[in-house]
Amino acid sequence: MPKKKQNEDFHLEELTQEEEAEILKKPKQRRTRSSKKNALATAVQEAEQLLLFEKIPGKISSVKDDIASMEFSFYSVSTKVDNLPYEFNNGHQIIRIVPSVIGRPNQQFDKDLMLYINSLLARAQFEHEDDHLKYRRIEINLADFCRFTHREFDGTMSEAFMNSLLRLRGTTIQTTVRSTAEDELINGFSLIESYKVLKRSSGKREGVLSAEVTISKWQARQVHDKYVLTIDDDYFSIKRPTERRLYEIARKFCGNQKILFRIALSNLLLRMGLSASKTLRAFRYQIKQMVLRNEIPKYNLAYDAQNDHLIIFPRDLKVREFLRSAAENVQSNSLMTNKSFEELENWFKGLVIHPDADPYAVHKYLAGTKK
């Protein structure tokens, strides 16, 4: 039997009889009929595992984000290397993130890679729903990943991709997000268990071509249990990592509901994953700048200075009708209890908001010209 090249197993194909016999060879150990069957079944399963993802069409119809990392900040929004541990503890849910030696996974690149993986997994589940959970090894083509995330496939991608794998593999996450009320279990894992990279060292296109990635059971189960949400493809056009993170929070807590969602800035600071060194005053200024830019896809932002809250609502929400309905139905009025329509209108008119998001902008302008 001719020898194979060293990296030929990067793309596993259907096993021949000779290859099956080679797999079953193990020196200095007697193998029973049962152990031979198990070894053969394992080898065949691993081969089918990669073939499964080769059958997935290159076109992914939707972008999938896991709800756990939308609700809690697994990724750093810093534009610099973030080596600081992060902890979120609200009394019954705890998230601890211990960064790798080259830093904590970031929102700008590393999260995009996991979005791509989640979307591949969701597509695989749609095509092969019964066998999905056991298939955790995914082949990632770097050119396809760049197209998916609206990136240029240039010379900088290889190094950025390798560093991303190192951060995702090296960072440890401890979480109770998936624990039951009866038994409090702390899960410790990395988002990626292992990886193999196919890299071209010479020629016109030097650098990383593709990678075979094994994700954690925890991450695979998020998609298997449909613990994911579809996010807007325009997410990849958001330039600032803080605004990307804010979009995730808006999508998770506001979603497609026709509501005004509000969150205290002290709580939002933790949800954004910012370190304790970030003062609330500096964060407040940053939020106001986001509000005035109003560049979050599908959502409008407003700042309530009186209560120190950020207000998030869908762009297609008819604000005046919502306020009128909230005033008439006291039980559904979670925004402000026992307030009339005029009082709610005056409250909304006092918000810091972008003119394009303000249904009262014309009235404010006319009132200003009369003065």
- Crossing angle (nearest 10°) for helices 110-127 and 157-170: 80
The token duo for 64 is 């999938």
Confidence of residue 337 (pLDDT cuts 50, 70, 90): low
Average pLDDT, the chain: 80
Structure confidence by residue, pLDDT tens digits, 41-88: 555 454 444 444 444 444 678 999 999 999 989 999 998 999 988 888
What percent of the chain is predicted at pLDDT more than 70? 74
pLDDT score of 98? 93
Residues 6+ apart with CB under 8 A from 371: none
Query: Which residues have C-beta within 8 Å of that of residue 3, sequence separation ≥ 6?
Result: none
Which of 79-83, 261-265, 365-369 shows the highest mean pLDDT?
261-265
Predicted pLDDT of residue 9: 31
The three-class DSSP label of residue 89 is strand
Phi, psi of 138 (to 5 degrees): -125, 140
- Asked if residues 136 and 224 have their Cβ atoms less than 8 Å apart, the reply is no
Q: Which residues contact 80 (CB under 8 A, 6 or more apart)?
A: none
Closest CA to 250 of 308, 310, 178, 316: 310
Helix (H, G, I), strand (E, B) or coil at 95: strand
pLDDT 10s digits, 114-166? 999 999 888 887 776 545 456 688 889 999 999 999 999 888 899 999 999 99
CB 95, CB 86: distance < 8 Å: yes
Least confident window among 79-93, 111-125, 303-317, 324-338: 324-338
* Mean pLDDT score, 24-39: 52
Residues 6+ away with beta carbon under 8 Å from 310: 262, 263, 265, 268, 287, 291, 301, 302, 303, 304
Of these ranges, 79-88, 305-314, 335-344, the one predicted with the greatest mean pLDDT is: 305-314
- Higher-pLDDT residue of 60 and 22 is 60
Token pair recorded at residue 107: 């929102």
pLDDT band at residue 362 using 50, 70 and 90 as cut-offs: low
With a cut of 50, say whether residue 90 has pLDDT above it. Answer: yes
How many beta carbons lie within 10 A of that of residue 154, not counting itself? 10
Nearest of 289, 351, 365 to residue 319 by alpha carbon: 351
For a pLDDT cut of 90, what percent of the chain falls above it? 49
Q: What is the pLDDT of residues 284-296, one digit of tens each?
A: 999 999 999 999 9
Count of beta carbons in the 10 Å neighbourhood of residue 7: 10
Residue range 228-258, pLDDT digits in tens:
999 999 999 999 999 999 999 999 999 989 8
